[in-house]
Structure 1
Amino acid sequence: MKPATRLPLALAILSAVATNAVANGPADFMLRATIDGQRVEGQPLAWTDSQMLLLGRDGQLHDFHPKEAKDAKKIAKGFVAYSPAQLKGRLQQEFDRSYAVTTTQHFVVVHPRGEWSAWANRLESLYRSFTHYMSVRGFPIKRPKMPLVAVVFRNQADYYRYAAADGTPLAPGTLGHYSPQSNRVFLFDISGGSGDADWLANAETIIHEATHQTAYNTGVHQRFSEQPRWLVEGLAMMFEAPGVWGASSIKGIETRLNQGRLQDFRNSIAGSTSDWIMRTVASDNEFSRSPGASYAAAWTLSFYLCETRPEEYSRYLDRVSRREQFTTYGSKQRVADFAAEFGNDFTLLDAQVQRFVSELPR
């Protein structure tokens, strides 16, 4: 099973702010301050007497007590991200000289010197595939506020070593992850930088995590408000299929199937009680109780809606992405938002999904 993307940390931050009664923001200015010995520039997004959340110019979300900010000073109106050149310079200082930094139209990619530079174009290509796929289905894509950062390590050992030093716990077998707090994708090259097609050996994980990053930065998901986990994971799992991320050259519904999730659905959910859609939509709790079945349900429901009701699916994504920042998402509102686009007859919807699945190629 694919390791869960590190969304719980971001949700914990959201919940902490949402439960404080006096959350303000976003501010109409940027400030510069020294926090724990590090100079930070960015826009305050929300704050209370005991907590501030600040969006750094590099896309990182800084969470700190206001009293920890030393020598704070307003420096500009609104939010101004670092340019690709500025971010490249900062990343070259952050990583040692064995790493190079390559920029593309949307990415700034840290990678070992040599053939690893191919990763920049791979990620840019995935970005284009994602935005094209969403655009032709009527979803209004926004330009990212800042360059997207990806860090490619030489091997799994270097990847795990960096994560441990950064305080990020990784489950055994993790091949890559997107961090909502830093807004970065981290991965390692399983091909050892050979520059050939061997990267496809862990392509599903890379595409999954790159989809999260792109979706959160183009308005498909709202990075700073709670989003239904089935919706976030379902979309990323759809893009694991070559017929989705390589849609311009690959045709046929069989190429768009995530065969692993489809099989999991047929084994665990198909023909079961019809309330699985309601439980999936109403909360994220099922992911803790039964993760395998939950991922299968998330992909199946997402794939069905995108294939058969693309306009409603795009409107639903847009509705959820426009939620107020730093707010939690209760079950009643989740169900109401879903029903506003797809109706509230969950028994009928279950029958439609089950019939759709039964007709998919085996």
Structure 2
Amino acid sequence: MQRCLRRKAGWLLRWGTAIVASLAAAGTVAALEPELGMFRLTISGESIEGSPLAIGTDTVCFLSRDGKLWNLPRSATKAWQQIGDRFRPYAPSEFRAELLRELGDGYEVSGTTHYLIAHPRGQKDRWATRFEELYRNFVRYFRVRGFTSQTPPYPLVGIVCRNRDEFRRITQQSGQTVSENVLGYYDRLSNRILIYDIAATSEAMRVASTDDAVIYHEATHQMAFNTGLHERTGETPLWLAEGLATLFEAPGIYDASAHPSLIDRINRGRLAEFRSRLRKRHTEEVIRYTIGSDAIFRDHVELAYPESWALVFYLTEKHPREFARYLRVTASRPAFGKYRATDRLRDFLQCFGGDWKMLNARFLRFIDSLP
């Protein structure tokens, strides 16, 4: 089930990347929010307020006040109305009201310092605190490794559905289709996490570790794209995004104070997959292939996730300062630009050194040493 979940998560990240990259292909010029101000426009009878991030020949990338990214036709700008000099996100009360309108009866919205979590009534303590604790651990993990995260510009939104049927209904309303084995996902365009309460379903699916893995994986995507590790309007390498998300599935990563040992930081499932599927045939060319493009997720998805986890785990354990620098490099690339293979490989080598064969040897020696 987790493998299907990861495929879906990767697909959503690629979909978001494809939309912003399509603007670049159309001759997009990126624009700064404060310079263009805030506008109101109507699409299919729906009023949207926000700011354009980029305008291409045929399309506009529009950031609405609730943090959603919209890929709109250029014609939508003909009738828009300027309503402010600068972009202003929704206040928490406006976010809360919008979520309750969308979800209807049976839900309440709980707020923490960084989150607004919509969940079944009476379950605040079960969900809101859990997400906030994960956020604090996430920030701490990267701070001690030399990366200072940014504060999200608006509350991070999570929706916890009561059951699988509601999860499917809300997903379909958003225009997406998921397989029966998908347990949750982060949508880069809406900037939301959508999951359902696995423990409330059948006995066969009451597996706490699976529930945790879904939450921590998808929450890591959301936090990374909102705290400066990744850029939502840029082309983030998928191995990096999915490697970080699988990294945070391990208890020693998402809660290091309670699980301080190296053994706790290892994602046992991904390590087993790497050893059974990749170890005997792993060369420096596999690393170059993974880093140089996202093709491994399209052509060899069963190898993509263990390879990405293993690379990120090695780099964060053995080269944390260089990894922090690499995060800054990839996140600071121009918005809406294509991240070509030559640039991906160059950026990686500038941060971690230029000997691919030596890198592979040290990487495999580290993986082989893991208990």
TM bucket (normalised to shorter chain) is: over 0.9
Distance in 2, Cα, partners of 1:70 & 1:111? 39
1:3 to partner: Cα distance: 2.8
Q: Give matches, 1:1-362, under 5 Å.
A: 1=3, 2-4=5-7, 5=9, 6-27=12-33, 28=35, 29-69=37-77, 71-115=79-123, 118-192=126-200, 199-272=208-281, 273-361=283-371
1:172 to partner: Cα distance: 2.5
Distance in 2, Cα, partners of 1:26 & 1:106? 25
User: 1:111, 1:117 within 8 Å by CA — same for their partners in 2?
Assistant: no
Structure 2 unmatched ranges of 5 or more? none
Hey, which bits of structure 1, 4+ residues long, moved more than 4 A?
Answer: 197-200
1:324 to partner: Cα distance: 0.6
TM-score (structure 1 length as normaliser): 0.95
Residue by residue, what CA displacement relative to the aligned partner does 1:61-93 show, whole Å, maximum 9, x if unpaired? 011113235742212223221111121112122
SS at match of 2:50: strand
SS at match of 2:137: helix
Residue by residue, what CA displacement relative to the aligned partner does 1:9-40 show, whole Å, maximum 9, x if unpaired? 11121221010124341342111112221111
Distance in 1, Cα, partners of 2:104 & 2:78? 28
Distance in 1, Cα, partners of 2:294 & 2:28? 27
SS at match of 1:187: strand
Distance in 1, Cα, partners of 2:209 & 2:78? 47
User: 1:226, 1:327 within 8 Å by CA — same for their partners in 2?
Assistant: yes
User: 2:41, 2:81 within 8 Å by CA — same for their partners in 1?
Assistant: yes
CA RMSD of aligned residues (A): 1.6
Distance in 2, Cα, partners of 1:100 & 1:354? 48
Distance in 2, Cα, partners of 1:137 & 1:80? 33
> Which is richer in helix?
2
User: 2:65, 2:88 within 8 Å by CA — same for their partners in 1?
Assistant: yes
Distance in 2, Cα, partners of 1:147 & 1:252? 32
TM-score (structure 2 length as normaliser): 0.93
Name the aligned partner's letter for residue 297 of structure 2: F
User: 2:68, 2:190 within 8 Å by CA — same for their partners in 1?
Assistant: yes
> Identity over the aligned pairs, expressed in percent?
37
Name the aligned partner's letter for residue 271 of structure 1: K
**Range moving further from structure 2, 342-351 or 23-32:** 23-32
Distance in 1, Cα, partners of 2:107 & 2:340? 44
Distance in 2, Cα, partners of 1:24 & 1:215? 22
SS at match of 2:181: coil
Structure 1 unmatched ranges of 5 or more? none
